[in-house]
Amino acid sequence: MQDNQPKFEQMFKEIYAIAESQEVKKVLIGETFDRLHEIFIEWHALLYKEQRMQLLNFYDIPLIQQQVDKSGKGKKLNKTLENMHTKKRRESFNHFLEGVIHKEVGDISNLSYSPEDVNTFRQLKIKEGYQRFETNLVPFIRNKRR
């Protein structure tokens, strides 16, 4: 997760640079749109990977707590682990993972954060984009012509 922070910063800076240039150009060209789409997909893939890792780590916290000394130096660590293992945190992870891909596009509940599964996630996210374009934007464009 620490390795992803510079990646997020770089993506944000690139999006900001594109936004700044759009004030001058006023029209989004195909290459720029494609680059923004790539950034969007990569951003979601990194978030998915982090959330999946955190959820799996969440389930390991009770095992770690069993090994931590409850007195002395382990007391602070045990308190931190207790704060990390709450129902609210678990619901937050699950809420993200349930909503990141629409159910009609695919099911990601059995995917992990392995490179193959993250690639599968990317493909589903791309498929979702095409599906949402067809169902939301195409009818809007057709109705505007009339």
Average pLDDT over residues 18-47: 87
Q: pTM of the prediction?
A: 0.77
Estimate the share of the chain in helix, then strand, then coil, as percent rounded to the nearest 5: 80, 0, 20
pLDDT for res 140: 73
Residue 142, pLDDT above cutoff 70: yes
pLDDT for res 145: 59
Tens of pLDDT, residues 64-120: 888 887 777 788 888 888 888 889 988 998 888 888 888 788 888 888 889 999 999
- For tokens 């095409």, the residue is 130
Of all residues in the chain, what percent carry a pLDDT higher than 90?
A: 29
Residue 21, pLDDT above cutoff 80: yes
What angle is formed at CA 51 by the lines to CA 78 and CA 79, rounded to 5 degrees? 10
Helix or strand run (H / E) with residue 94: helix 87-99
* Token code pair at residue 41: 């997909």
What one-letter code names the amino acid at 106?
G
pLDDT for res 120: 93
pLDDT-derived band of residue 9, with 50, 70 and 90 as boundaries?
A: very high
What CA–CA distances, in Å, run from 112 to 27, 51, 89, 119, 145?
39, 10, 19, 11, 44
| Contacts (Cβ under 8 Å, ≥6 apart) of 36 | 15, 18
* Token code pair at residue 20: 């700044």
